[in-house]
């Protein structure tokens, strides 16, 4: 499964129609969630049947395509299933009880409700929302695929415009020549990655470099915000919404920079090695540290891991996630545990006298653990299986799930 993304070009009234379709999808998703809360033994098919009832009761819901309504119900059901799974696995802390959507940025169509033009450069939506025909701007060629291979079409609203994502059912695996190399990777803040061979990749810190511009744009946005309008429940001024959009576009640019960097590094690592061992980090828990949360989020460890596992699957390479416990403390030469704080960047073993950079020492330990691990390969950061291996469903936040064309001509996308 691959995701192709195109920029949409249309008239302002068509964009308003897309916004209305997105709001309708959000309404159906929240109604399905409420139906599950108020009734016992509600399953997936019960929510799909409930969509028809909503269409009869609410005229604006009936204007949306029937399969788009079912997609909204499936989003609610996926949140419910995730909650059930966390309860069965006895996950520590909060189990992720499903919440109502306050804002949604996408609407998803299945096999009906849309039609591509003969040249595959335009798409027409035939439901009663009035979206009509939109031009597709991008470098991908949809003529190479059969219409039946397109399993889903999603309309996504972002700060810089509207996009269409096509989920295409094809085999993404590519044969590659073995390199007879194995590598252990340590993720860090001083270096983005450091491997067991002593090679390091500097941390780009895209957010840190853009922080002044982001703060300035945020201040300009705040100055245009009116508390009187908020108390009176009135819409904010057009100047405020324009400033808000400028601020969002700057964040979008930083997010795209981070994603493209993580993708480039992951591709290089996979192409150079047959086995890649890396830390099975609990990023969600690490960002709770208020002193390091901003730096950890700026590093993009989860994004890098997702791309590493995707390219490993595509090119038939082994990716192994190993427990990170004591990888920085143990000596890679003799195995002695050498306690050190985060500020200590050099590993010096008092037992054997081995001295090495802290991150490189950890990378050697990670590789050793990866080579000795059995049955722990392919632990995916997004769940038991990545979205590109499960099916045609796209992520609910508008981000493409697998994201890559066979020729690696990928548009940097972000939510």
- Residues 56 and 332: their CA atoms lie apart, in Å, by 67
Q: Is the pLDDT of residue 70 over 90?
A: yes
- Residues 401 and 394: their CA atoms lie apart, in Å, by 6
pLDDT interval class at 399 (50, 70, 90): low
Q: Is the pLDDT of residue 338 over 50?
A: yes
pLDDT interval class at 415 (50, 70, 90): very low
Q: Is the pLDDT of residue 258 over 90?
A: yes
- Residues 255 and 322: their CA atoms lie apart, in Å, by 27
Which residue ranges make up each domain of the chain? 2-168, 182-390
Taking only the tens place, the pLDDT of each residue in 20-68 is 999 999 999 999 999 999 998 899 999 999 999 999 999 999 999 999 9
Tokens 């201040």, residue located: 219
User: What are the beta bridge partners of residue 277?
Assistant: 184, 320
**H helix intervals, 109-237:** 206-223, 227-231
Taking only the tens place, the pLDDT of each residue in 76-98 is 999 999 999 999 988 888 888 99
Taking only the tens place, the pLDDT of each residue in 214-234 is 999 999 999 999 999 999 999
């Amino acid at each position: 499964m691959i995701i192709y993304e195109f920029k949409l070009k249309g008239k302002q009234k068509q964009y308003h129609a897309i916004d209305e379709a997105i709001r309708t999808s959000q309404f159906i998703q929240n109604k399905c969630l409420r139906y599950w809360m108020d009734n016992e033994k509600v399953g997936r098919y019960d929510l799909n049947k409930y969509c028809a009832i909503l269409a009869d009761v609410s005229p604006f819901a009936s204007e949306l395509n029937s399969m788009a309504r079912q997609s909204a119900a499936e989003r609610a059901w996926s949140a419910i299933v995730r909650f059930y799974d966390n309860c069965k696995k006895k996950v520590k802390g909060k189990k992720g009880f499903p919440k109502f959507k306050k804002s949604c940025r996408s609407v998803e169509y299945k096999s009906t409700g849309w039609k591509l033009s003969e040249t595959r450069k335009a798409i027409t939506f035939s439901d009663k929302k009035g979206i009509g025909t939109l031009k597709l701007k991008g470098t991908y060629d949809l003529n190479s695929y059969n219409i039946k291979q397109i399993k889903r079409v999603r309309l996504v609203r972002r700060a810089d415009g509207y996009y269409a994502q096509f989920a295409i059912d094809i085999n993404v695996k590519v044969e590659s020549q073995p390199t007879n190399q194995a590598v252990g990777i340590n993720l860090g803040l001083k270096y983005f990655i450091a491997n067991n061979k002593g090679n390091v990749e500097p941390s780009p810190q895209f957010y840190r470099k853009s922080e002044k511009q982001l703060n300035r744009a945020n201040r300009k946005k705040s100055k245009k915000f009116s508390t009187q309008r908020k108390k009176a429940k009135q819409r904010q001024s057009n100047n405020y919404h324009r400033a808000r959009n400028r601020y969002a576009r700057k964040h979008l640019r930083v997010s795209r920079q981070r994603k493209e960097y993580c993708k480039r590094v992951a591709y290089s690592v996979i192409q150079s090695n047959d086995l890649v061992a890396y830390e099975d980090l609990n990023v969600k828990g690490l960002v709770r540290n208020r002193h390091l949360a901003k730096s950890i989020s700026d590093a993009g460890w989860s994004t890098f891991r997702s791309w590493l596992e995707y390219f490993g699957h595509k090119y038939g390479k082994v990716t192994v996630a190993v427990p990170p416990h004591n990888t920085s403390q143990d000596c890679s030469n003799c195995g002695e545990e050498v306690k050190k704080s985060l500020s200590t960047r050099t590993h010096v073993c008092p037992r054997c006298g081995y001295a090495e950079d802290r991150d490189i020492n950890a990378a050697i330990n990670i590789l050793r653990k990866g080579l000795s691990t059995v049955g722990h390969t392919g632990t995916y950061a997004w769940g038991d299986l990545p979205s590109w291996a499960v099916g045609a469903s796209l992520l609910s936040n508008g981000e493409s799930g697998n994201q890559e064309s066979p020729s690696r001509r990928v548009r940097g996308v972000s939510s």
